[in-house]
Structure 1
């Protein structure tokens, strides 16, 4: 007969509720401050909905009316050093953190609002309206609110998208030796998102000081929580990851405050992450000023029941009961807040010319200048001011012949020795004597706290690296074992890291390096072989490096690590064991951004290539005696292409071939050919030709894989065709 032994979770799971004694013991100043915050946020949100109803908000207005208790109760125990981020419905969290930053001792509900508080409200309103004086200069709007000075690191329109980023800030807080924490706010929709669950696991494994704060408002747009999960008590998720968890009535601001203080004691003493679930209720639909009942997915009785438990009304009742404030004083808090919002609105609004009485418009001079459109897609590279770049012909150090992968290990090791802010993370990089290819050989033993072997969770550790980069104290190098894994982490790479600088106003540095391996020709098949250059080239914000020699790898990696933009450094397994010129002991030099290498000179045709395809092109040219310029691009992103070198060559040869290995559908040459013909059409005597792989991804079969990719034979065939014609 089998036995069945009940098991207990390793972490506690508790429900926190307040009593009259708790309310009586709470300091009057705390309750007054709570009332000020709750009321300001509520009145602000009501004003935003009013503007939205007048058509003055371009885009959504995801109000948090009804949910203020969770934000205020959780933020007031924090400091400005603590970091918070949130979801698309994040006005209340952002305002609570910003207001607490400018008034850390509290906001007296009896007094007029200070200029600092008015400025927070005005800049927040302007951002939601898309105006220049907003925190992001109008770029972020309602769903992307950020004020780093206050520790508000950015709300996020991708469900669950901000959770991994917050973990990066938590890692930075802990590694820097502080007791600061990160709080990431998300809802009942994000609790089922893969990146969220991946981050639970990573944060628990690494004991990061992060609070996963779940605002369970019961509806992901119109789908209720019971439909979406078999366990609607969402804080139960924490037990599966050994995360202590609290469940709280989020309409009770004091109960939330109590739970957060308990969670903070756990996190600030180095015990790892926490989870708090607050049951709240959004009074209105997903977007706009209509109740959910107007759309038929919830009842008026349900809405009425939650309004009877309104967090402001509950707090006001206790303030009156204790004789701290009377009804008239409480009413005046709202009256003053509404008057202030009207005053602030008058700064950005004016009567609509020729309109009906009461019709308004945004003042024209409040809008951003259209020329601001692309500013901040990337940085201005001022971090390279004064740098003495070198190239192979100007390098003064000693040169030897070395394997490509040894140069990778050499420059990474040197960077970690000389720069304590460099952190490397990825799967298995701390084992196998330097990962699967030896690129981090010996580093785990020397730098055990900065060589981070990760779980298999690309979304989580990529986003964590993105958070570290945005925090600014560390330079993460994230390794993807294979380039195809970028699709697993696509949200973090493209929606988060690549867009962060521009989305939040153009001022955020993002010093993030991704090492991504191309494995065509290794027999690893369709899901482990792709060249991602063509995809990254379409993604604003990324710079792309493709070294083809050991010497170039060292200089380009150094440049990538100094750059304040995210850089993907492409590597190819064909190159790892290939030998070439490399520095003996000088691993400090930087190759210039936007400078290609002319590998061969000729006059009949220009061949433009990159990465491992460079060797195949050179082999074809040398073996067949083709009269060709061979340009190794080295930098592939739109902002860093060496147009001068290409132009000089095109004017000489009047013919271009773009040669790459990968599949034609995701090829890099597509956009490059289009741009070249736009720039240099008058100099071309022949259509731009391309050498690529086939349509399909490489297969496992050695024969089929070779048929799917391009190498020297394909280059030879194309150059023969062109030159004979």
Structure 2
């Protein structure tokens, strides 16, 4: 018979309840603060639902009514330098954190609804209504609330989407030498999201000061948690990651507060992450002012049972019992905040001249100007003012033949020498004497503590890098071992990092650099060999750069690392072992954003390419000497950074264009570029734009089929000959 020894988790998992003695011993200011702020939040939410019912809020209003106890209980112990982020249902947590920032630390009696609190209420309501006075200038609405000054780093409409970023905030706090912490709020549905579990693991491995606050309201839209989760006590997840966890009744604000204080003590002592699960109940449906029973997935008896345990009523009863305030004083607070909300509303609204009697509309002057629509998608690059820009023909330093991969390693190491904020993270970057290709060799020699080998969890560590960048105290270089892995991290890369600056109002820098290699021709098959340029450049917030030689790599990487926008630096494995002209020891110059390079000149044809295909184009042009072509190495690929001056000047000279790329036609970068050239320069073209691309299919493992799937010198030669014969 096998022996069986019972196992127990390494970290505690407890259910915490507040006793009568706890309520008697609780600091009066704590109880009054939780009650007062809870009443403000509820009045705010009720008024927001009223406006939504009148059609005055465009988009959803995810009410938190019923869940205020979890918000005030957890947020009151936080400081302004502590960070929070949250979900699409995040008004209550955002307001609680903002109130904590503007209110004095101590006060007698119920907190005062002073001018600072009124400003928070007004700007939050304006944001939810999509108005220019909102915290994000109306771009965030109900689901994207951010006030960095208060440590409210942004709510998030993607379920679980903000959790990896919160780990980045916590990493920055830890490594900035503070005892500040981050609380990331998310719901029961997010507990089953892969990026959340990935972040549990990463935070535990790195002992980050982050509290994963699970607001378990029992339903993911209309699906009961018991139907989709084998263990509905969601804090049980902590045991699998060695994270101490607390489970509390979220309708008991004091119990939440006690659990949060224990979690804070653990995190501020440098002992790593925590989980707090608060079981709460949203009184209304996922969105709007109707209860869940109206949609058939809950019954009225269940809803009444939860309302009978209302967190604010419980707080009220204890405050009155302990004679900290009278019932009349509390009622007066309720009336006051309701009146303030109506006063705020009246400042934003006016009678609708085209509507029915009594119908209102948003004042036209309150809306953002329509010209603001694209402002802040990316920055103005003023951070690059004063840069020393160089090209080989202007460079005064020593040049020699350098291996491409050695230059990659050297320039990253050099920037880490001059900027202590730069941190490298990715899979195996801290192993193998410089990662899988040697790119981090110099960085490891100089700063091993700032080269972070991550778990295999692209969503988590990309989001963590995004959080580091949003906070701004550190500047991450995130490495994807292969470009195809961007699909694994697609939410964090496209939904979060690329959109963050614009979504939160246009002012927040996102100094994030992603390095990734293209590996077509290496035999790694369909899931490791794509050219992602055509996909990456569809994301408006990303700048994309593609160096083709060692000299350019230094200048372009330096510019990327100085830029306050997220930049993807594409590299091709074919270039790593090649040699080309590069600097001997001057690694401090830059190459401007939006500047292409003319690699060869001729009047017959304009050839446009990037990365390793530039060398293939040179080889092909040597084999077809009858065609004298301009060869443009784009270097910068994204829509905002593309060098149209160079492209237009060449096309106006040659009147013919050939775009050359290696990868599959379905994810083609050249498809967009050809369309844009024909839109801009149609009158200058003597024929449609020609293209060389790979096949429709992704490259296969078979050497023969792989070669057939990608473009190279032979395909360029064949197309050049066709162009020559057509003359």
TM-score normalised to structure 2 length: 0.99
| 1:23 corresponds to | 23
What whole-Å deviation, never above 9, does each CA across 1:436-462 have from its counterpart, x for those lacking one?
Answer: 101111423431221000000000000
Q: How does 1:25-44 map to 2 (within 5 A)?
A: 25-44=25-44
| 1:533 corresponds to | 533
Q: Secondary structure at the match of 2:248?
A: strand
Q: How does 1:227-246 map to 2 (within 5 A)?
A: 227-246=227-246
Q: What CA distance in whole angstroms lies between the structure 2 residues aligned with 1:27 and 1:707?
A: 74
Query: Is 1:318 paired with 2:318?
Result: yes
Q: How does 1:119-518 map to 2 (within 5 A)?
A: 119-518=119-518
Q: What CA distance in whole angstroms lies between the structure 2 residues aligned with 1:274 and 1:111?
A: 30
Q: What CA distance in whole angstroms lies between the structure 1 residues aligned with 2:374 and 2:104?
A: 36
Q: What CA distance in whole angstroms lies between the structure 1 residues aligned with 2:221 and 2:498?
A: 27
Q: What CA distance in whole angstroms lies between the structure 1 residues aligned with 2:432 and 2:623?
A: 39
Q: What CA distance in whole angstroms lies between the structure 2 residues aligned with 1:573 and 1:105?
A: 56
- Post-superposition offset of 1:596: 0.4
What whole-Å deviation, never above 9, does each CA across 1:88-126 have from its counterpart, x for those lacking one?
Answer: 000000000001100042566657521111000000000
Q: Secondary structure at the match of 1:133?
A: coil
Compared with structure 1, are the counterparts of its residues 178 and 445 closer, same or farther at alpha carbon in structure 2 (3 Å cutoff)? same
Q: What CA distance in whole angstroms lies between the structure 2 residues aligned with 1:676 and 1:108?
A: 68
Q: What CA distance in whole angstroms lies between the structure 2 residues aligned with 1:385 and 1:118?
A: 40
User: Once structures 1 and 2 are overlaid, which stretch shifts more, 21-30 or 451-460?
Assistant: 21-30
| 2:667 corresponds to | 666
Q: Secondary structure at the match of 2:711?
A: coil
Q: Secondary structure at the match of 2:142?
A: helix
Q: What CA distance in whole angstroms lies between the structure 2 residues aligned with 1:92 and 1:105?
A: 20
Q: Secondary structure at the match of 1:142?
A: coil
What whole-Å deviation, never above 9, does each CA across 1:208-238 have from its counterpart, x for those lacking one?
Answer: 0000000000000000010010100000000
Compared with structure 1, are the counterparts of its residues 244 and 111 closer, same or farther at alpha carbon in structure 2 (3 Å cutoff)? closer
Q: How does 1:5-20 map to 2 (within 5 A)?
A: 5-20=5-20
- Post-superposition offset of 1:395: 1.1
The answer as to whether partners of 1:123 and 1:133 remain within 8 angstroms in 2 is: yes
> How many residues of Structure 1 are paired with residues of Structure 2 in the alignment?
725
| 2:558 corresponds to | 558
The answer as to whether partners of 1:109 and 1:333 remain within 8 angstroms in 2 is: no
- Post-superposition offset of 1:339: 0.7
Q: What CA distance in whole angstroms lies between the structure 2 residues aligned with 1:679 and 1:540?
A: 19
Q: What CA distance in whole angstroms lies between the structure 1 residues aligned with 2:47 and 2:329?
A: 21
| 1:521 corresponds to | 521
| 1:722 corresponds to | 723
Q: Secondary structure at the match of 1:515?
A: strand
What whole-Å deviation, never above 9, does each CA across 1:629-685 have from its counterpart, x for those lacking one?
Answer: 100000000001110111111011100000000000001001100110111111000
Query: Is 1:687 paired with 2:699?
Result: no
The answer as to whether partners of 1:433 and 1:442 remain within 8 angstroms in 2 is: no
| 1:652 corresponds to | 653
- Post-superposition offset of 1:391: 1.4
Query: Is 1:63 paired with 2:63?
Result: yes
Q: What CA distance in whole angstroms lies between the structure 2 residues aligned with 1:341 and 1:401?
A: 69
The answer as to whether partners of 2:375 and 2:502 remain within 8 angstroms in 1 is: yes
Q: What CA distance in whole angstroms lies between the structure 1 residues aligned with 2:511 and 2:181?
A: 22
Q: What CA distance in whole angstroms lies between the structure 1 residues aligned with 2:591 and 2:112?
A: 57
Q: What CA distance in whole angstroms lies between the structure 1 residues aligned with 2:79 and 2:621?
A: 64
Q: What CA distance in whole angstroms lies between the structure 2 residues aligned with 1:175 and 1:542?
A: 27
Q: What CA distance in whole angstroms lies between the structure 2 residues aligned with 1:461 and 1:685?
A: 49
The answer as to whether partners of 2:413 and 2:446 remain within 8 angstroms in 1 is: no
The answer as to whether partners of 1:604 and 1:723 remain within 8 angstroms in 2 is: no
The answer as to whether partners of 2:415 and 2:422 remain within 8 angstroms in 1 is: yes
The answer as to whether partners of 2:144 and 2:156 remain within 8 angstroms in 1 is: yes
Q: What CA distance in whole angstroms lies between the structure 1 residues aligned with 2:445 and 2:382?
A: 35
Q: How does 1:99-114 map to 2 (within 5 A)?
A: 99-105=99-105, 112-114=112-114
Q: What CA distance in whole angstroms lies between the structure 1 residues aligned with 2:111 and 2:153?
A: 30
Q: What CA distance in whole angstroms lies between the structure 1 residues aligned with 2:607 and 2:133?
A: 48
Q: What CA distance in whole angstroms lies between the structure 2 residues aligned with 1:680 and 1:377?
A: 26
The answer as to whether partners of 1:547 and 1:571 remain within 8 angstroms in 2 is: yes
Q: What CA distance in whole angstroms lies between the structure 2 residues aligned with 1:329 and 1:209?
A: 39
What whole-Å deviation, never above 9, does each CA across 1:460-490 have from its counterpart, x for those lacking one?
Answer: 0000000000000111000000000000000
Compared with structure 1, are the counterparts of its residues 270 and 378 closer, same or farther at alpha carbon in structure 2 (3 Å cutoff)? same
- Post-superposition offset of 1:418: 1.3
The answer as to whether partners of 1:218 and 1:224 remain within 8 angstroms in 2 is: yes
Q: Secondary structure at the match of 1:143?
A: coil
Q: What CA distance in whole angstroms lies between the structure 2 residues aligned with 1:599 and 1:356?
A: 67
Q: What CA distance in whole angstroms lies between the structure 2 residues aligned with 1:364 and 1:716?
A: 60
Q: What CA distance in whole angstroms lies between the structure 2 residues aligned with 1:250 and 1:479?
A: 40
Q: What CA distance in whole angstroms lies between the structure 2 residues aligned with 1:9 and 1:211?
A: 19
Q: What CA distance in whole angstroms lies between the structure 2 residues aligned with 1:642 and 1:10?
A: 57
Q: Secondary structure at the match of 2:157?
A: coil
What whole-Å deviation, never above 9, does each CA across 1:544-580 have from its counterpart, x for those lacking one?
Answer: 0000000000000000000000000000010000000
Q: What CA distance in whole angstroms lies between the structure 1 residues aligned with 2:287 and 2:108?
A: 32
Q: Secondary structure at the match of 2:441?
A: coil
The answer as to whether partners of 2:16 and 2:248 remain within 8 angstroms in 1 is: yes
- Post-superposition offset of 1:528: 0.3
Q: Secondary structure at the match of 1:180?
A: coil
Q: What CA distance in whole angstroms lies between the structure 2 residues aligned with 1:349 and 1:67?
A: 28
What do you get for the CA RMSD once the two structures are aligned?
Answer: 0.9
The answer as to whether partners of 1:620 and 1:712 remain within 8 angstroms in 2 is: yes
The answer as to whether partners of 2:109 and 2:325 remain within 8 angstroms in 1 is: no
The answer as to whether partners of 2:349 and 2:361 remain within 8 angstroms in 1 is: yes
Q: What CA distance in whole angstroms lies between the structure 2 residues aligned with 1:403 and 1:587?
A: 14
- Post-superposition offset of 1:78: 0.5
The answer as to whether partners of 1:408 and 1:439 remain within 8 angstroms in 2 is: yes
Query: Is 1:115 paired with 2:102?
Result: no
5+ residue gaps, structure 2: none
| 1:583 corresponds to | 583
Q: Secondary structure at the match of 1:602?
A: coil
Q: What CA distance in whole angstroms lies between the structure 2 residues aligned with 1:286 and 1:161?
A: 18
Compared with structure 1, are the counterparts of its residues 111 and 231 closer, same or farther at alpha carbon in structure 2 (3 Å cutoff)? closer
Compared with structure 1, are the counterparts of its residues 106 and 125 closer, same or farther at alpha carbon in structure 2 (3 Å cutoff)? farther
5+ residue gaps, structure 1: none
Compared with structure 1, are the counterparts of its residues 111 and 23 closer, same or farther at alpha carbon in structure 2 (3 Å cutoff)? closer
- Post-superposition offset of 1:394: 1.1
The answer as to whether partners of 2:109 and 2:324 remain within 8 angstroms in 1 is: no
Q: What CA distance in whole angstroms lies between the structure 1 residues aligned with 2:145 and 2:184?
A: 14
Q: What CA distance in whole angstroms lies between the structure 2 residues aligned with 1:206 and 1:294?
A: 46
The answer as to whether partners of 1:100 and 1:106 remain within 8 angstroms in 2 is: no
